Every structure is written in structure tokens, then in C-alpha cells.
Amino acid sequence: MSPSSSAEAVPGAVPAPDEHHEHHPSYLVDGTTVKSWLLTLDHKRIGVMYLIWVLLFFLIGGTYALVVRLELLTPGPTIIDAMTYNRAFTMHGVVMIFLFMIPAIPGAFGNFMLPLMLGAKDVAFPRLNLLSLYLLLIGAVIAIWGMINGGMDTGWTFYTPYSTHTTTTVAPILFGAFIIGFSSIATGLNFIVTTHTMRAPGITWFKMPLFVWAMYATACIQVLATPVLGLVLLLVVGEQLFHFGIFDPARGGDPVLFQHLFWFYSHPAVYIMVLPSFGVMSEIVAAFSRKNIFGYRAVAFSSLGIAFVGFFAWGHHMFVSGQSTFNAGVFAVLTMLVGVFTAIKVFNWVGTVYKGAVDFKTPFAYFCGFLYFTVFGGMTGVAFATASLDVPWHDTYFVVAHFHFIMVGATIMAFMAAIHYWFPKMFGKMYHEGWGLVSAALIILGFNATFIPQFLLGNAGMPRRYYEYPERFQTLNVASTAGASLLALGFIVSAIYLVYALVYGEKAAANPWNSKGYEWLTESPPPTHNFVGPQPIYTEEPHFYVDPQKAEEPHAV
Amino acid sequence: MQSNAAAPAHPAGVPPVPQVAAHFASLDVQQHAARLGMWLFLATEILLFAGLFVIYANYRFMFHDGFAAASRHLDLMLGTVNTIVLITSSFTAAMAVHYAKEAKNKMVVVMFVLTILMALGFLVIKYFEYSHKFHVGQLPGPYFSDPNPELQVAGVPMYYAIYFLSTGLHGFHVVIGMIVLGWITIKANRNEFSGRNYTAVELGSMYWHLVDLVWIFLFPMLYLI
């Protein structure tokens, strides 16, 4: 099939380019001044700016990670003192979670793709969209200012009463996270309203691409959970400055209440991080298996299911906080329900690949890594949800390895897959496929080499966040640090060939993957108002990959 | 809402025709989007205060006697007056929407000015309540210094911490509401609203109802029980 055949497959979707002779510049060259970028209301430019910033934050967070790993090469002091180490792992967590994992896929790819996939000219509130980018940056600047001027040693969870008594600069970093929360709410609100009101004619709820479903579910969590985090962060700042005693047991306060309010946000926040990844992967698995997604409705509803159940699972962070056995049992079962919805997705992805004509390109390589990290990380999650198993593993490296597998592993796979899958659409250039596969292999291997030793370390009893450890843990720590170096090498390789492709890459066709997603029905890169001519009308489903020659009967949903 | 900011001042008696932003299919869709966005935003505001309500419930359970004792030392009279003032201001805000639909921009201005004045009255009463508490030392946490023997009960400083946090956060919302309504009043004064274009009045008014609603929860929670 030629790239243009996809346009014919959806009658009326996009007028053929030669019907309109006037020139429609792509969004990349429509205005080239700095101001035209910084004050743009175009969702695509805002998406690209998000991409640039989250990559910078990823670099900062990754550098802290390498510092932590280098420090743990030897049992005693290696390169930094204990206080610097505490600050380093705290900032690694804060930067990676609040500045990379949460905004990365919704900010960069959600902003860019969601309106295209809905046949809309922009998101519902373009100014709010730009504002949310700048709120993210303001929050980041305040947090990084706090980091440079003193830093914070509480760990990213800011547990009270320690966080209200430590002498390090907690207030600006928490305030930064508070502002970043506003950014997250604004993005989520914008996406919900866009999905409700901006769908092109023909895009019913069950014709929305699965990435849109995932972004919608994510946005619901962002809107419903983040205000509670905002309040609790404000209260901790208040405690730090005025010692009201809300969370301070010495003054009659209750630190476990902090944990409840904190995890009421931060556990759903895990799904803010992974649900977009699930959406990306649903697009990619269909595109590179050349098959309609297996169980479209099940995949769509399971996103909402995860978003819903995610709000009732926070208590599993408090199995060892003196919670009653009954509570522990209830939260254990509710937590395991997340596994049921995730399994629905995993089985449907595998069902999609089954008997598909797999085109093993770089995004599909990341899909394979993703499937493995999700299943492995998810299964260890079910193990953690079992209260009796959580007790010995609590706050060991087993936790660290588990949440890196599911949160970081799955999200990084999806982020890299999304960059590679949508790179031609976003920038109109092709990258080198061979190097793409090489770096995917390096990253997947490096990730395993980093975190499988940490599973073993945690199981052997090494606690997380400790500066020194007994001699017998050294071999596995060295292995983990070696893995981290491999991981870093993988990212450096992909950075090099992607930047090279940006400058010297050959021009991409409108639909280089022969994909059926709606976003491929416009040019690469898209013009400023997304589609040339009138608003498109969609008649097909977004993942309609069934070959019409082979299947005469209506396709299964 | 997006298009309104760009609307020019309109000296003549006829309100201007509202503009539809380039990315919306129609005015209806644009107004629907604005309303939906506002409802979602109000949901986040309610959740923000919900965190405080959870904290209140938790500590009321832990320090039942202290909370009961401290709550008796709030000025029920001033609290009731404030509640009446705020509910009345919510009524005038609702009337503003009614007049905006009929393109009676003068009345919109009148109603919003009344609303803002009542908001100011609310803050003035709050100021007298606060200064009394500062004076007698009914302050949060470590600053509590009231020697009254009735207040020497565990949990009283915690009660005042929650009192000042929740009324302070609510007062901050009152100030924001006054700014928002003031901005819409300026637009109404430029004769911008009509039956086809009253979204800004409607949304501003919705925000003011939220401020009122939160107070209707705070008043019994802090003053009555």
C-alpha cells in the first residue's frame, strides 16, 4: 500500500493536497521568530516545547540517578558525603516524577496528537494550554532554585514529621511542586473539555483512537487527585514555616494523616504516568502488527477502570504504618483490582500481535520491552499488594526495583516508542532505523541490568535510601551501576541519531508507517490549522487495519 | 470566553455580536466548552477544600472536647451575619446572569457592584473576628496563648490552626472572586453582554456560588457544631 492509500480508505477525511493550490506552511515554519514560538497558541508548537523541556528535565533527573548509582559503587563513602547523597536521591525523585514522568507524554504527545486525532483545529483552551506549560516551567525554576540553595533530604515523598523539621530548604521545592500541580490540572481539564466538545463529525466516543481514551482517563485522574496534593503540600509548607502541628505528633498532629492525603494523590499519580504509556502502546501495537486492535472497547474501558480503581488503592503504602489488619486486607484486594484491568490490556495487546503481520521497527522493539516491563513490574506489584509480602519487602530495594520497572520502565518504553513513532509526523524527517534498533536494545538491556540486581538486593534485605551498606551487597550494586551506564549509553546513542535526523534526515511521507490512526491523515509535519480545507469527516474506526481483500465480512470490534 | 477579551469597546446601545474562536465549530460549542471547563475547575476547588474537611473530621474525632470548647469561643453573631451577607451576594450574582441574558448591561454592573460590596463587607467582618482572636491569643498551634481556663483542653490549638487555615483559604478565594467579578463588571460597563454572549457573567457567577457554597460548609463545621 502506498502512503496515500490511507487517505482514500477514509472517504472525505482529507482532501487530496493538489485540490488546494494555495500554500499551507507547516506549523514548524509558520512564523520563525522567537516570540512566535514562546507566545504561540498552537497545540503542536506547545507540544514541541513540552518535549524539549521534559527532555531537559530527564537529563537533570538522569544525572542525579547516575550520581546516586556511582555513590553506591562501594559500601562506604565513594564520591559524595551522606548529606549530598540524601539530596541527590531526593532531587532525582522529585525531578523525575513531577517534571518528567507526569508531564512527559500528556504534555508533549498528548498536546500534539490529541487534537489531530479528534480532527480538531486545536485544544479547547489554547491560552490555558500555554499557561500550563509556563506554570510547569515556573514550578521547575522555583524547585531547582531550592535545589541549588540548600536542597532537600526528605526523599520525594516529603514524609512528615521529618519534612517539617529538617533544616534543608523544603519550602521552595514543595511550593514548586504545588505550582506544577496547577499545570497538571490545567492540562487535564483542557483535554477533558477538548475530548467532549471538539470531536470532528463522525468521531463518536467509540471511534476515538485508544490514545485519546488513555489521555482522557489520565486527565480525569489529574483533575480529581491533584487538588488534594496541592492542599497537603501547602499544609507541609505551613508546618515548616509556622509549626501549626497538623502533622506533628509532638503537637497532637497525625503524620499518618499526611500519608493518607499524600498517597491519595500519589498513588493515582502512578496511573497518570502509565496510562498515557498504555495509550501510546495501543496505537503502536495495532500499527506495527497491521491488525485492528483486539478488543477495542475492553482496552478503552480498562483505562477508565484503572483510573477509577486507582483512587481506592492508596492504603497499600501504609501496610506498616499501624493500619488495622482489616484495612490492610481491603486495600490489598482493591490494589489487586488494578492488576485485573491491566491484564485486560496486556491480553488484548498480545491478542493483537497474534497472527498479525509484524513489522519489527523501532517502536515495535520498544513495545516488546514495554510488554515485558509491564508484566514483570505489574506482577511484582500484585506481590506487593499482598500485605504479608509487603512487610518484609517494605522500603527495601525490592520496592525501588518494582516501581522503576512499572513506572519508569513502561513509561520510558512508551516515551521512546512515541518519539520514534511520531517523529516523522512531528518533524517531517526520518531517522535511521538500524540505529533506532541498536539504541532500543541498549536501553532495554541496560534497564534490566540496572534493576534486576536491585530486586535481588531488596530480597536480600538492603534498605532503600541508605548511604552505606554491608560488604555482601557490593557485587549486585556494582552490577546495577554498570547497567545504569549501559542505559545512559543507550539514551546518548538515540539522542545523537535523532538530532542528526532532525537536521539531515530524509523527508518523511505523510504516513511512513502506513498507519490508520487519524493523525496520519494530514501532512507531515501538519499545517498550522492541522488540516487543509474543511473539517474532516471520519467514517472508519481508528485502528481499522483489516485488509479489505482478505476480509469481506465486517471486522470484529 | 476566549474571544471576549479581544472584543472592542462598544459605545452604542447595541451589544456586539460575540466572536467564535477559530478552532471552535460554533458559538454553542464554544460556550459549552467554557461551561464544562468551569465545572471541572470548580470540582478541583471542592476537592481542595475536601482535604481540609478530612483533616477537620480526623481531628474532631481525636480531640472531641477541645474542638467543642474552642468552637464555642467563635462569635456566632458575626458568623451568622457573614453567612447572610454571603448568601445575599450569591443572589445578586445570580441576578446579574439573569440581566446579562436580557442584555441589560447596566443592571449587570449594578448587581456585580452589590456583590463585590457585600464581599468586601464579609472581609471587614472577618477582619474584626480575626483581630479579636489575635488580641485574646486564640491562635494556631504554638502561638496559642489564651489563658481562659475553658480553653485549656487538648486539641484547642489544633482547632484554631484548622480555623485559620480554612477561613484563610476561603478568604483568599473571596479576594480572587472580587477580582474576577470586578473584571467582568468592567466588561459589562462596556456593554458587552447579550442573550447570545453572557458566558463570562455566567462563569464568574458560578465561581462566586462556589465561594458561597464552601462557606456554607465551613460555617456549621466551625461555628455551629
**How many interface pairs between A and B have CB atoms less than 8 angstroms apart?**
112
Q: How many Å apart are CA B160 and CA A254, to the nearest integer?
A: 16
**Which residues of A touch chain B, with CB atoms under 8 Å apart?**
120-128, 185, 189-190, 192-194, 196-198, 223-224, 226-228, 230-232, 235, 238, 242-246, 251-254, 257, 260-261, 529, 535
CA-based nearest distance B41→chain A, Å: 7
CB-closest option in B25, B52, B142 to A231? B52
CB-closest option in A194, A243, A252 to B155? A252
CA-based nearest distance A75→chain B, Å: 43
CA torsion B91→B93→B94→B95, rounded to 10°?
A: 90
User: Which residues in chain B touch residue A314, judged by CB atoms under 8 angstroms apart?
Assistant: none
CB-closest option in B32, B50, B161 to A197? B32
In a domain, B18, yes or no: no
Which run of H or E residues covers position B218? helix B199-219
CATH code, domain with B118? 1.20.120.80
Q: How many Å apart are CA A484 and CA A495, to the nearest integer?
A: 17
Task: Return the amino acid letter for B194.
Answer: S
Task: Return the amino acid letter for A271.
Answer: Y
User: Which residues in chain B touch residue A194, judged by CB atoms under 8 angstroms apart?
Assistant: 33
CB-closest option in A194, A238, A261 to B54? A261
In a domain, B11, yes or no: no
In a domain, B20, yes or no: no
Q: How many residues in chain B?
A: 225
Interface contact B36-A197, CB threshold 8 A: yes
The reported pLDDT for the residue numbered B54 is 93
Interface test with B, best of A196, A216, A231 (most B CBs within 10 A): A231
Interface contact B158-A235, CB threshold 8 A: no
Interface test with B, best of A44, A189, A243, A266 (most B CBs within 10 A): A189
Interface contact B54-A535, CB threshold 8 A: no
In a domain, B9, yes or no: no
Interface contact B23-A197, CB threshold 8 A: no
Interface test with A, best of B1, B47, B64 (most A CBs within 10 A): B47
CA distance from start to end of chain B: 41
Owning domain of residue B141: 27-224
CA-based nearest distance B37→chain A, Å: 6
In a domain, B182, yes or no: yes
Average pLDDT over residues B139-146: 89
Cβ(A443)–Cβ(A362) under 8 Å?
no
* C-alpha cell at position B17: 455580536
User: Which residues in chain A touch residue B52, judged by CB atoms under 8 angstroms apart?
Assistant: 231
Average pLDDT over residues B167-182: 96
CA-based nearest distance B13→chain A, Å: 30
CB-closest option in B32, B40, B142 to A189? B40
CB-closest option in B32, B44, B157 to A185? B44
In a domain, B19, yes or no: no
Task: Burial-class residue A10 by CB neighbours within 10 Å (0-12, 13-18, 19+).
Answer: buried
CA-based nearest distance B167→chain A, Å: 14
Residues 6+ apart with CB under 8 A from A247: A160, A161, A164, A235, A236, A239, A253, A254, A255, A257, A258
The predicted-structure confidence for B56-108, as pLDDT tens digits, reads as follows 999 999 999 999 999 999 999 999 999 999 999 999 999 999 999 999 999 99
Cβ(B200)–Cβ(B101) under 8 Å?
no
Interface contact A126-B23, CB threshold 8 A: yes
Interface contact B162-A192, CB threshold 8 A: no
Interface contact A261-B22, CB threshold 8 A: no
Number of domains chain B contains = 1
Cβ(A233)–Cβ(A207) under 8 Å?
no
CB-closest option in A194, A231, A245 to B161? A245
User: Which residues in chain A touch residue B154, judged by CB atoms under 8 angstroms apart?
Assistant: 252
Task: Indicate the pLDDT class of residue B21, thresholds 50, 70 and 90.
Answer: confident
Interface contact B52-A252, CB threshold 8 A: no
HEC readout, B128-162? HHHHHHHHHCCCCHHHCCCCCHHHCCCCHHHHHHH
Interface test with B, best of A30, A190, A193, A226 (most B CBs within 10 A): A193
The reported pLDDT for the residue numbered A161 is 87
Interface contact B140-A242, CB threshold 8 A: yes
Task: Indicate the pLDDT class of residue B1, thresholds 50, 70 and 90.
Answer: very low
The reported pLDDT for the residue numbered A547 is 57
CB-closest option in B37, B58, B158 to A189? B37
Structural domains of chain A in order of their starting residue, each with its CATH number: 43-546 (1.20.210.10)
Closest chain A residue by Cα to residue B39: A189
Q: What are phi and psi of A153, to 5 degrees?
A: -120, 25
Q: List the pLDDT tens digit at each of the 557 positions of chain A.
A: 333 333 334 444 444 444 444 567 889 988 889 999 999 999 999 999 999 999 999 999 999 999 999 999 999 999 999 999 999 999 999 999 999 999 999 999 999 999 999 999 999 999 999 999 999 999 999 999 998 888 899 999 999 888 988 888 889 999 999 999 999 999 999 999 999 999 998 899 999 999 999 999 999 999 999 999 999 999 999 888 888 889 988 888 899 999 999 999 999 999 999 999 999 999 999 999 999 999 999 999 999 999 999 999 999 999 998 889 999 999 999 999 999 999 999 999 999 999 888 999 999 999 999 999 999 999 999 999 999 999 999 999 999 999 999 999 999 999 999 999 999 999 999 999 999 999 999 999 999 999 999 999 999 999 999 999 999 999 999 999 999 999 999 999 999 999 999 999 999 988 999 898 889 988 889 998 888 877 788 888 888 887 544 554 454 44
Q: Is the peptide bond before A161 cis (omega within 30 degrees of 0)?
A: yes
Residues 6+ apart with CB under 8 A from B7: B16, B18, B19, B192
Interface contact B33-A190, CB threshold 8 A: no
Interface test with A, best of B40, B63, B64, B152 (most A CBs within 10 A): B40
CB-closest option in B23, B51, B154 to A228? B51
